[in-house]
Chain A
Amino acid sequence: MAKLDLNRVSMPRQDPKLRAKNFNEVALGYSAEQAKAEASRCIQCPKRPCVGGCPVDIDIPGFITAIRDDNMPEAVRILKDKNSLPGICGRVCPQETQCEVTCTLDKKGAPIAIGRLERYVADWERAHAESVNPSVIHPKPTGAKVAVVGSGPAGLTAAADLAKLGHNVTLFEALHVAGGVLMYGIPEFRLPKEIVQAEVDYVISLGVGLKLDTVVGKTVSVDELLNNGFQAVFLGPGAGAPMFLNIPGENLNGIYSANEFLTRVNLMKAYRFPEYDTPVKVGRKVGVVGGGNVAMDAARCALRLGAEEVYIIYRRSEVEMPARREEVENAKEEGIQFRLLTNPKQFIGNDQNWVTGMECYEMELGEPDDSGRRRPIAIPGSEYIIEVDTAVAALGTRPNPIIPQSTEGLETSKWGTVIVDEVSGQTRKAKVWAGGDIVTGAATVISAMGAGKRAAADIDEYLRG
């Protein structure tokens, strides 16, 4: 057996100074040589722990072998067999806590860069669309009609899987484009919209009908769908409602929820204002409150929109930050300043109702709380003011209440999440399944995809009786 190669091939990225001024993708992807070199490091261990770490059961050693053997069409086939959105997952999945952490080589400190290879395969397919003989799937139509509500990661996955099984699927989306958080939330420089669109187009090419501009719960109710020929409904509307800090001054001008800030920038393309009509206001000093990926995204957008100083204001220390390590590093390289163990007490404004500062406490960490992380405690008398003229609250999201409120029989928890059977995704309402953030609260793209996949399998079983 060949000697273990522990030289993980790094992926080229745009120079930090350059990229802090543009919205082009930061990570540039592997070349063919780099991909092959990385794929060749895989020892093809018999236990295949990486597959168990993947929420959608991708045959990871299989597609890695195909890359190594220069059989790219086969790599595409294996990957897409389980994952309809590989270009997205290859970019935004936290592989370091899923497949890569289980990799046998992780023990040696050099797990296979599965995410980078996944991205390489997806990008190769898009670049070679003509030369790849697409494995057109013509499943036998079952005649069953299924409504999928929400075209984010959960809905796209459920729709693709159900269509591949021969069901007649219609995807309902409230916004004017499909993709959900992949379109409105994650910025262009981390997930180019062209890639999201290409993967949405792939799902549509499987025969899925798409109805945009349709707010289920308003334009049409879940019961109306069930009474009008749909035999099953999958709910994947996400956790779309922003949380605020609930501190004084939060409604001052210049204070955004991360959802609003990112929606203006990503979905409405405010970074191209006035070519695009939607504006966004970014001042000289921007404070982003929160420590997750969304906070990093908002901070890095603010920097690209011309802010001179951008702060991440987070109440715990860096170890507890929920953001991906990689995104924290990217943000630091670009010049985002981290104000850790810091928590806002109130916002301060001028007589025109514009925010001018954030009064913050210094924090210290006490005993672990329910989340297992050490609880942050404000140090009395430590208050000081950070001057900001724009602030973004990136504190997480809650389920949007429109569907639960308008659907009789759908039971929700005290947090507003829809209660389901964990394995099947069945809700307490007959013929209705749910998955993704509407069930779990804000989580990851891939966990939503996993939920969409499991629910699709259960819906299929139900429809076949």
Chain B
Amino acid sequence: MYEILLRDDLVPQIHLFKLNAPNVARKAQAGQFVIIRIDEQGERIPLTIADWNRDEGSVSVVFMEVGTTTHRLALLKAGDSIANFIGPLGLPTHIEEFGTVACVAGGFAVATIFPIARTMRKAGNRVISIMGARTKNLIFWEEELGNTSDQLIVTTDDGSYGRKGLVTEPLKELLEAGSIDRVIAIGPSIMMKFAAKTTEPFGVKTIVSLNPIMVDGTGMCGCCRVSVDGQTRFTCVDGPDFDGHEVDWDLLLARQKIYLDEEKSSFEEWQHKCGRCSK
């Protein structure tokens, strides 16, 4: 069992759990993920590692309430435990001194980009971060990301905070100014797709962190297969980072919808069973 040491409700429906997982903390690197399972009936889902503390033996993950598993997870509090926490999995983000790196985060992926921005900066890069959210009250870690970046740009879709618009707009301006050597873009697949489309004409290498459905997370099942540069790759062992210009985005988006019906029926069943026990 893996104890939840701390729960932080970052914004409504997006939560951070810090868990006691010394073996994962010892090896965690920016860009890697874990597979978690709540209990005996639970499914295995991947969550990106948001932070770790090797001395404390803790690993933090951030998740948004979307389906059954994440809603069930959101019922847990500090002191509770989950059954399984496996990792660190996947390859770490490739870090070197590129020059100026744009770290672009959509939605709650700000938690994923945070350790990458920090490591990029430590490696001697000038880091410009762009974080985008739908609206003001979904913004979190502005200060944290700001502190690990040389420059921070915040956007909201509705203009309620920061700059109005999508993350791709300031990204395009930075590229036009010619000052970006590498882009890391992480967020919902559709956001990553358009970030990659934005950078493509400028020929700036753009790394994305893919989030397909997974089961084991160790290369055994092939559920997370994606097409990159025409080759089938397994996100869990060959990724999760890939060159965004080579990813077959339509395939990824389609494969993420395989279980839409089951996700819906499972969630309805769960809501019915627990009678909105959550709140």
Contacts and interface: CB of A to CB of B under 8 A. Distances in A.
Interface in B17-64: 23-24, 27, 37, 41-44
Interface of B: 23-24, 27, 37, 41-44, 68-69, 83-89, 215-216, 218-223, 225-227, 232, 237, 250-251, 254-255, 257-259, 262-263, 265-266, 269-270
Nearest to B215: A263
Given A174-B86, A250-B232, A260-B223, 10 more contacts: A175-B216, A242-B222, A251-B227, A256-B222, A263-B216, A263-B221, A274-B266, A276-B41, A400-B237, A401-B219
A402 B219 contact: yes
A268 B43 CA distance: 7
Contacts of B216: 174-175, 184, 263
Contacts of B27: 218-220
A402 B237 contact: yes
B255 A353 contact: yes
Contact of A251 (B37, B218, B219, B225): B225
Nearest to B253: A353
Interface string A231-253: 00000000011101010001101
B218 A400 contact: yes
B34 to A, nearest CB: 10
Given A250-B232, A264-B215, A218 B89 contact: yes
A215 B85 CA distance: 11
Contacts of A276: 41, 43
B55 to A, nearest CB: 18
Contact of A218 (B42, B87, B221, B258): B87
Contacts of B266: 273-274, 277, 279
Most chain-B Cβ atoms within 10 A of its Cβ — which of A174, A212, A278, A400? A278
Most chain-A Cβ atoms within 10 A of its Cβ — which of B219, B222, B250, B251? B222
B259 A279 contact: yes
22 contacts: A174-B216, A174-B218, A176-B84, A213-B85, A214-B23, A214-B86, A215-B218, A219-B24, A240-B218, A246-B232, A253-B254, A253-B255, A253-B257, A259-B222, A260-B223, A268-B215, A273-B266, A274-B270, A276-B43, A277-B43, A352-B254, A352-B257
Given A214-B23, A273-B262, A281-B262, A402 B87 contact: no
Contact of A353 (B23, B218, B251): B251
Contacts of B43: 268, 276-278
Contact of A400 (B219, B255, B265): B219
Contacts of A213: 84-86
Contacts of B254: 253, 352-353
A241 B215 CA distance: 13
Given A244-B222, A268-B215, A281 B232 contact: no
A401 B237 CA distance: 9
A242 B269 contact: no
A223 to B, nearest CB: 13
A257 interface: yes
Interface residues of A, number: 40
Interface string A268-290: 10000111111101000000000
Contacts of A281: 258-259, 262
Contacts, number: 119
Contacts of A175: 216
A260 B41 contact: no
Contacts of A274: 262, 265-266, 269-270
Contacts of A263: 215-216, 220-221
Nearest to B225: A251
A383 to B, nearest CB: 23
Contacts of B85: 213
A215 B262 contact: no
A250 B262 CA distance: 22
Contacts of A275: 41
B275 to A, nearest CB: 16
Contacts of A176: 37, 44, 83-84, 86
A1 B250 CA distance: 75
A202 to B, nearest CB: 22
B80 to A, nearest CB: 17
Interface string A107-135: 00000000000000000000000000000
Nearest to B220: A240
A264 B44 CA distance: 10
A219 B215 contact: no
A274 B223 CA distance: 20
B252 to A, nearest CB: 10
B232 A260 contact: no
A14 B96 CA distance: 62
B69 A215 contact: no
A279 B269 CA distance: 13
Contacts of B223: 256-257, 260
A353 B223 CA distance: 15
A219 B41 contact: no
B219 to A, nearest CB: 5
Contacts of B265: 274
Nearest to B266: A274
A263 B217 CA distance: 12
B220 to A, nearest CB: 4
Contacts of B257: 253, 352
Contacts of A260: 215, 221-223
